[in-house]
Structure 1
Amino acid sequence: MSREDEIFKSRIAKIEELRSKNINPYTNRFERTHSSKQILDKYSNLKVEEKTKDIVKIAGRVMTLRNLGKINFSTIQDFNGKIQLVVQEDESGKILNDFFLNNVDSGDFIGVEGIVFRTKRGEISILAKKIEILTKSLSPLPEKYHGLQDSEEKLRRRYLDIIMNPEIKDLFLKKAKFWQTVRNFLLEKGFIEVETPVLEPTAGGAAATPFKTHHNSLNMDLYLRISMGELWQKKLMVAGFEKTFEIGRQFRNEGIDMEHLQDYTQMEFYWAYADYKDGMKLVEEMYKKIAIDVIGTLKFKTHDYEIDLGKKWETYDYESLIKEKTKIDIYKDDETKIKKKLDELKMEYDKRVDKWRLIDILWKYCRKQLSGPGFLVNQPVEISPLAKRQESDKRKVQQFQVILAGTEMGNGYSELNDPIDQRERFKRQMGLKAKGDTEAQEHDESFLEALEYGMPPTCGFGFSERLFSCLMDRPVRECVIFPLMRPEAKKEEKVVEKEIKNNPNTQKSNKNKIKPKSKFRKKSK
């Protein structure tokens, strides 16, 4: 029998023993007076070996145990930090000391009532007077230095990763702050938060491959949205809304890499009577606000790039940059020459896509050479079917993309509000789809109908949690609290031949066996 199996069976026996004494190892609640941090802050001025008379109540998970018989030490971890617990026979009483020794294991949640003091070694601690087991754990926590070393295992069992590594918890606290900052910034600018459908009859608003599902009641196929309600929010502009935004999940059936996921959080805003130049000013202000609130600085290093959001943001011209980096003239050179250049650069591409999709792949090669911060402008109309044309050059659109650390960190444009031009653009997209381009946009007649009633000049912009991963200098997948994982290979189940006789929850069943599935309790030979 493995060590993990022995621990598991031992803890089952302890649960039996507790229940035989009418002690519930899975209690309903515990009233706390303080968090660990509040105690450490409040009593920071205590002198060595000084005791208070204050009674405090704290709860948390037992992280470490050091049992020395008549005096025992434990580290209790709650959401705010850690604090040392001392159980001493002379002070806490023999009954409590024995209870702690015989029933409490690392990983258990316990509630403690006691007094605060500072030890000889200078550590603020709680001297226990009462201890209550709140949740009895069955599985042992990973070892501090040897457990959960595999990166895939950390993502798969993120709850253990968070328990053992405080920096991972801090990462997701920063992520919460990130989206809170975005939301507050837009609300303060007068934007209204809206909700638009996740299931759509037409996948619109972006060039991406959608997930498909079926609505049983309506007997119709639907798509999971690939944008944050772009076409819906523009319908709200038609309806008379002037500033809207949405933050939510969207889904794209594409590959996984350091910058891409299949389901992720996105923000998009739409601003009536503004153009892409107004959008650029607002976005620069917002990104600076996000950086200050989340990481406390405008200067940071990420993915081997040195970034300074405080310096003057550059402007990159789409046509000129590609010509400078690759010698390709996007308007004069044909598909054959572009494909030859892509082959030379070892850039993968789908042979079914048209010239403009190939050029955009070429642009992604050039983009890696830019640290930013900056805006890419003057994109060809063929690659932006929802953006308004420029007045001075009808071949180009009023679009801007935020460039940071060699990648796109946001995309916006003056929204196309000419229904006739939009209809023609949709027709071209459907022609591309017929040739096999799975990312070509769908024709959306309901959106065209709305445009025919008139939409004011509007700027739209969106970015995803990729920006957060950039600020954290981590792959985007590591910045998702529970990323999608391949299912684990089926493992043999080991049945613990032990009935919990005193468990009132299992008295009615004849199959009172625990069937653990964790990898820590594989079948022993």
Structure 2
Amino acid sequence: MSSLDELRETRIGKLKRLEKLGRNPYPVESKRDVSLADAVVDFEKLSKKKILHLAGRVMAIRAQGGLVFFNITDGTATFQALLKKDDVDEKIFNDFMETVDVGDFVGVAGTLFVTKRGEKTLAVSVWTMLAKSLRPLPEKWHGLTDEEERFRRRYLDILFNPDIKATIEKRAKFFSAIRTYLEKNGFMTVDTPVLENAAGGAEARPFLTHYNAYDTDVYLRISLELALKRLLVAGFPKIYEMGRVFRNEGADAEHLQDYTLVEFYEAYSDYEHGMKFVEDMYKYVAKETFGTLQFKIRGFEIDLGKKWETIDFVKLIKEKTGIDILSASEKDIEKKLRDLKVEYDKKGFNTNRGIDTLWKYCRRQIGGPAFLVGVPVMLEPLAKKSEKNPAVVERFQVILAGSEMGKGFSELNDPLDQRARFEEQAKLRAAGDEEAQMMDEEFVEAMEYGMPPAFGFGFSERLFSFLADLPARESQIFPFMRSKE
């Protein structure tokens, strides 16, 4: 039997001892007057109470003869408690010593006082087991560098690592700030289906599953876009959704397969208005979440408060690589990638994939904040063509620290043009491009009833991980892990 198994058996023995003593190791009732943080802040006022109930997880026990000092934490603060053998019934003291371990959740009641060392403390008169832990908390978790071990037991990672806990709290602030900004500007939140007959709205490989009730294969959504645009047809002028999307692609420091996406749409607007709106929103969210507009991200010094640069897609690629993507052939682009020694996926390779790979090569040098504009029509099947230059679309992307941090455009609302672009995408898909978009007949049909001109924008939790300067998996609460079996 391993030492962990032995420790677990010892704790199970203590659990049985609790039951024999008439103490429920997992009671329903949990009495608590204030959080531990409030106990610290309102100590003077609470010291006047004859009896104060606190609760938390035991994180340390220090026995000194007839004195037992122990620390409890409840997620808001840590507080010291003292059980003194001479001041309580002997059974209360002995039961504690025989059954309580570090990791257990306990309720304690007593009076507040300050020790000779100036430590705010609760003198315990009564204690209650709230949840008996059967596995010992690891003694050397803090500083553990094994990423797989940390992610697999993320709850312990959070418990022992204040930085991870702070990241999760900031993540909550981040999404809260987004909701606040959008709703203050008149946007209504909606929920749309996760399972779809056609996975559209983005260029990505979807997850496939089977719908037993309808005996049909369906896709997990890769975007929120097409469902939200149908709500524009339905007459909602300002809508947004914050939800999970799923893309069955590779994982790296920037990309996840299961993550939170935010998309919003405003009728009777365009991408010119959208750029100003997004810039203001990013500044608001950054300030609310991190308290600053200045960041160090992936080696770049970023100031969201400075003037945002505008970069032309076609001109940038020509400047960095010497190739004009509007006139270059597929062979020209592939040769340029080889000359630049840029890795690319040869399976399903086409002009679109080649241009996208060239762009990703060029963008690494852009610190930002910047707006990328002037994207060729063939790369964006859902955006309106520019009236000034029909070869490109009215689309922009936010660039920070060499990466894309959101995309918006004047939404295409011509159903005939939309169908033609979907058909071109279908040809690419049939030729082996698994990221090309699928034909969505239901969406085109909805558009034929009339969709107002609109601006739309989408961005993911990647923005948070970049502003926090963390790998994508580190900024998620529970990153996906392969089963050990």
Name the TM-score, length of structure 2 as normaliser: 0.97
Instruction: Say whether the 8 Å CA contact 2:141–2:160 is kept in structure 1.
Output: no
CA distance in 2: counterparts of 1:146 and 1:289, whole angstroms: 34
Amino acid at match of 1:458: A
Instruction: Say whether the 8 Å CA contact 2:237–2:266 is kept in structure 1.
Output: yes
Decide which moves more: 195-204 or 138-147: 138-147
1:320 and 2:315 correspond:
yes
Match of 1:63 in 2: 59
User: 1:372-427: CA deviations, max 9, x gaps?
Assistant: 11110000000000100000111000001010111000001001111111111111
For residues 190-269 of structure 1, the aligned pairs below 5 Å read 190-228=186-224, 230-269=225-264
Instruction: Say whether the 8 Å CA contact 1:314–1:374 is kept in structure 2.
Output: yes
Please give the root-mean-square deviation of Cα atoms over the aligned residues, in Å.
Answer: 1.6
User: 1:271-310: CA deviations, max 9, x gaps?
Assistant: 1010001111111111011111110000111222111110
Instruction: Say whether the 8 Å CA contact 2:80–2:120 is kept in structure 1.
Output: yes
CA distance in 2: counterparts of 1:56 and 1:164, whole angstroms: 27
User: 1:350-393: CA deviations, max 9, x gaps?
Assistant: 33321122011110111111111111000000000010000011
Residue 425 (structure 1) aligned to one of 421, 425, 443: 421
Match of 1:479 in 2: 475
Match of 2:296 in 1: 301
For residues 352-391 of structure 1, the aligned pairs below 5 Å read 352-391=348-387
CA distance in 2: counterparts of 1:278 and 1:161, whole angstroms: 43
Decide which moves more: 114-123 or 263-272: 114-123
Residue 409 (structure 1) aligned to one of 400, 405, 408: 405
Instruction: Say whether the 8 Å CA contact 1:272–1:456 is kept in structure 2.
Output: yes
Match of 1:75 in 2: 71
Match of 1:518 in 2: none
Instruction: Say whether the 8 Å CA contact 1:52–1:117 is kept in structure 2.
Output: no
Instruction: Say whether the 8 Å CA contact 1:200–1:224 is kept in structure 2.
Output: yes
1:3 and 2:3 correspond:
yes
CA distance in 1: counterparts of 2:364 and 2:44, whole angstroms: 50
Match of 1:107 in 2: 103
User: 1:297-351: CA deviations, max 9, x gaps?
Assistant: 0011122211111000111110111111111211233222322222233322233
Note the C-alpha offset of 1:151. Answer: 1.3
Could you list the structure 1 runs, at least 4 aligned residues long, displaced by more than 6 angstroms after superposition.
none
1:281 and 2:276 correspond:
yes
Note the C-alpha offset of 1:438. Answer: 0.3
Note the C-alpha offset of 1:428. Answer: 0.6
Name the % identity: 54
CA distance in 2: counterparts of 1:149 and 1:64, whole angstroms: 24
Q: Secondary structure at the residue paired with 1:250?
A: strand
Instruction: Say whether the 8 Å CA contact 1:144–1:164 is kept in structure 2.
Output: no
Stretches of structure 2 lacking an aligned partner (at least 5 in a row): none
Q: Secondary structure at the residue paired with 1:67?
A: strand
CA distance in 1: counterparts of 2:468 and 2:69, whole angstroms: 36
Match of 1:15 in 2: 15
Instruction: Say whether the 8 Å CA contact 1:44–1:124 is kept in structure 2.
Output: no
Match of 2:390 in 1: 394
Match of 2:29 in 1: 29
Match of 2:115 in 1: 119
CA distance in 2: counterparts of 1:241 and 1:453, whole angstroms: 14
Instruction: Say whether the 8 Å CA contact 1:299–1:306 is kept in structure 2.
Output: yes
Instruction: Say whether the 8 Å CA contact 1:108–1:137 is kept in structure 2.
Output: yes
Note the C-alpha offset of 1:218. Answer: 1.5
1:129 and 2:128 correspond:
no
Residue 464 (structure 2) aligned to one of 459, 464, 468: 468
User: 1:239-292: CA deviations, max 9, x gaps?
Assistant: 211111111011111011111111110010011010001111111111011111
Amino acid at match of 2:357: I
CA distance in 1: counterparts of 2:167 and 2:27, whole angstroms: 31
Amino acid at match of 1:300: F
Change (3 A) 1:148 1:107: farther
Note the C-alpha offset of 1:6. Answer: 2.4
For residues 479-518 of structure 1, the aligned pairs below 5 Å read 479-488=475-484, 490=485
Instruction: Say whether the 8 Å CA contact 2:142–2:161 is kept in structure 1.
Output: no
Decide which moves more: 261-270 or 231-240: 231-240
Match of 1:435 in 2: 431
User: 1:193-215: CA deviations, max 9, x gaps?
Assistant: 11111111111111111111111
Note the C-alpha offset of 1:45. Answer: 9.6
Change (3 A) 1:147 1:322: closer
CA distance in 2: counterparts of 1:24 and 1:325, whole angstroms: 70
For residues 35-46 of structure 1, the aligned pairs below 5 Å read 35-43=35-43
User: 1:477-510: CA deviations, max 9, x gaps?
Assistant: 111111111111x4xxxxxxxxxxxxxxxxxxxx
Aligned residues: 484
CA distance in 1: counterparts of 2:255 and 2:17, whole angstroms: 51
Name the TM-score, length of structure 1 as normaliser: 0.89
Match of 1:173 in 2: 169
Note the C-alpha offset of 1:44. Answer: 6.5
Change (3 A) 1:245 1:406: same
CA distance in 2: counterparts of 1:38 and 1:332, whole angstroms: 67
Note the C-alpha offset of 1:456. Answer: 1.1
CA distance in 2: counterparts of 1:162 and 1:459, whole angstroms: 39
CA distance in 1: counterparts of 2:139 and 2:418, whole angstroms: 60
Note the C-alpha offset of 1:165. Answer: 1.6
Q: Secondary structure at the residue paired with 1:5?
A: helix
Amino acid at match of 2:119: E
Change (3 A) 1:70 1:246: same
Note the C-alpha offset of 1:219. Answer: 1.7
Q: Secondary structure at the residue paired with 1:412?
A: strand
Q: Secondary structure at the residue paired with 2:168?
A: helix
Instruction: Say whether the 8 Å CA contact 1:56–1:113 is kept in structure 2.
Output: yes
Note the C-alpha offset of 1:148. Answer: 4.6
Change (3 A) 1:53 1:390: closer
Q: Secondary structure at the residue paired with 2:191?
A: coil
Instruction: Say whether the 8 Å CA contact 1:389–1:396 is kept in structure 2.
Output: yes
